[in-house]
Structure 1
């Protein structure tokens, strides 16, 4: 299993890193279209009714990616109005909280059409935000990725070391409140190192998310970072809720040793639109 995980990770890095670091934002936008198509397929497999035809997940994945592609062809990488990011953020904060409160037992009772429509909206907004983040600059894009990864890694080790109080035992028994606080602390430390270490001594193609928040003042910066850290947890829990509702361990086996695409990007889905919303300040 470990060998399989390492090989898959190396292949993904070999494909993703050139698209991330090349100056032209189009390769990254096109590559992420494939990821969104795969994520859409997984979403439909997890959320379609038992009586749904077998071709539905594939059609759904292609439809979501096609909507993204049409937007790309029609508008290029032109930034959408700021209210789009704020709307997506409100949907995530309100809808995510509502879904998590209902838990795995309530999710299957939502109409199939509603669950599929929500998935299409979530995936479209995340792809649009990722493509726009890359258009704004590699440093900006990487700062969002690293924020989510730091929140996840710090939460994992903090939870294993200090975890006592369960965060959501019916959804993800391994997560604890201490892990959440550790993740937030890790993000704050990362922001300090990025702004006062990296960006203070090196030149980049764009300001990072951390720098943009810093320019809004200490209070806005702290609240923004804490919100994004919290929403990365919401994205993770939301996908866990869906899997637990249908008794699935992974969203798929598309990535050997790692599960599915949704398993790898769940925490990114709410963070990217919200990061764009906060950066618009």
Structure 2
């Protein structure tokens, strides 16, 4: 978050070792989270919920941001993202979590806990998206791949996951659901 907020003035970012250390931290924590998730009895349900949260936050942010976005979230890193878009993404994830909880026969308290987990996970996924945008800005790239025209590349599919998965799994573990 510090680097995203301070961009383009990044003191330690210019050093290759700093970027390598950051990359290793992100990859190791994400890998560990996914391994822990895989060991769960409800692996498929929890993974689908994680993906739904990430995709919901991303889709909600895109559509609400396009329609109502006025206040820039991080104009030097990703000028198209807005605070209104973030709010739209968080609302969409809360709607999705409510539907999930109703279909899963969650109690009111469980729904409240799951809503909190969804809120934190979705918020952190936005930070992952901004961090990947910072990488691209630093390297002066528009897209991280040109495989599919108009598609930002593989990194655009996993940027939110690398940020959200560790938090999501930690919170699920703290609840005892994993």
Q: Do these two structures clear the TM 0.5 threshold for a shared fold by scoring above it?
A: yes
Matches of 2:168 and 2:76 in 1, distance apart?
29
Match of 2:26 in 1: 122
Match of 1:101 in 2: 5
Matches of 1:237 and 1:107 in 2, distance apart?
18
2:41 is the alignment partner of 1:148:
no
TM-score for both structures, normalised by structure 2: 0.86
Q: CA deviation at 1:214?
A: 5.1
Contact (CA 8 Å) 1:108, 1:245: kept in 2 or not? no
Matches of 1:174 and 1:145 in 2, distance apart?
23
Q: CA deviation at 1:189?
A: 0.4
TM-score for both structures, normalised by structure 1: 0.56
2:166 is the alignment partner of 1:262:
no
Q: Choose the corresponding residue for 1:273, options 147, 166, 177.
A: 166
Distance verdict in 2 for CA 1:134–1:107, change over 3 Å: farther
Distance verdict in 2 for CA 1:212–1:100, change over 3 Å: farther
Distance verdict in 2 for CA 1:106–1:268, change over 3 Å: same
2:78 is the alignment partner of 1:172:
yes
Q: CA deviation at 1:251?
A: 2.1
Matches of 1:130 and 1:213 in 2, distance apart?
28
Does the residue aligned with 2:148 lie in a helix, a strand or coil? coil
Q: CA deviation at 1:120?
A: 1.4
The number of equivalent residue pairs is 171
Contact (CA 8 Å) 1:213, 1:279: kept in 2 or not? no
User: Unpaired runs of 5+ in structure 1?
Assistant: 1-96, 201-210
Q: CA deviation at 1:179?
A: 0.5
Contact (CA 8 Å) 2:50, 2:165: kept in 1 or not? yes
Match of 2:128 in 1: 235
2:36 is the alignment partner of 1:132:
yes
* Aligned-residue CA RMSD (Å): 2.2
Matches of 1:190 and 1:238 in 2, distance apart?
25
Greater radius of gyration (CA):
1
Q: Choose the corresponding residue for 1:225, options 92, 109, 118.
A: 118
1:1-281 equivalence runs, <5 A: 97-106=1-10, 109-136=13-40, 137-197=43-103, 199-200=104-105, 215=110, 218=112, 220-253=113-146, 255-257=147-149, 258-281=151-174
Contact (CA 8 Å) 1:213, 1:278: kept in 2 or not? no
Post-superposition Cα deviations, 1:180-218, rounded to whole Å, max 9, x if no partner, equal 011110011000101103x23xxxxxxxxxx69953x72
Does the residue aligned with 2:7 lie in a helix, a strand or coil? helix
Matches of 1:232 and 1:156 in 2, distance apart?
14
Matches of 1:236 and 1:107 in 2, distance apart?
21
